[in-house]
Amino acid sequence: MQKSLHIDPVKCTGCLQCEMACSFEHTGVVNPSKSRIKVFNFEHEGRKVPYTCTQCSDAWCMHSCPVEAIVLDSATGAKVVKEATCVGCKVCTIACPFGTVNYMADVGKVQKCDLCGGDPECAKACPTGAITYIDSEGTGLDRMRAWAAKSLPAAA
């Protein structure tokens, strides 16, 4: 059974432990600017909301890549960027309707959540349980899939 990240923004305190864990896992340094999960601060509402790639089943980023640098990890369901293949054209950043594929100017490549190979560091680092890694059925993935299907052009 596939698992996915489930985010409960009500539990988020904005501690940024998820961003720090993600950046350390992927770059070896604690630098939230290099994180693949972002915590947004809605100051007027007094809320913090973590947000990352939803691993769409019909991933626009993957289908738009002209060099097939984004591939499906069949074990985790993650769409993973092959850095050696990515040419940094940013087409995937445009194709993603959720804005969760990011261009990293310092390396000239894109990056996105890869679920840490099935053991997401962000979920392990979250002290409040705002980010959990659970069976996909409980995350609303089916609702997202239905919404995504509505945006497809009708077959001619």
pLDDT the model gives residue 55: 92
6-55 pLDDT, tens digit per residue, is 999 999 999 999 999 999 999 999 999 999 999 999 999 999 999 999 99
Rg of the chain on CA atoms, in Å: 15
Q: Average pLDDT, stretch 139-150?
A: 70
DSSP state letter for 128:
S
Q: Average pLDDT, stretch 115-139?
A: 92
Name the pTM for this structure.
0.84
141 has a pLDDT exceeding 70: no
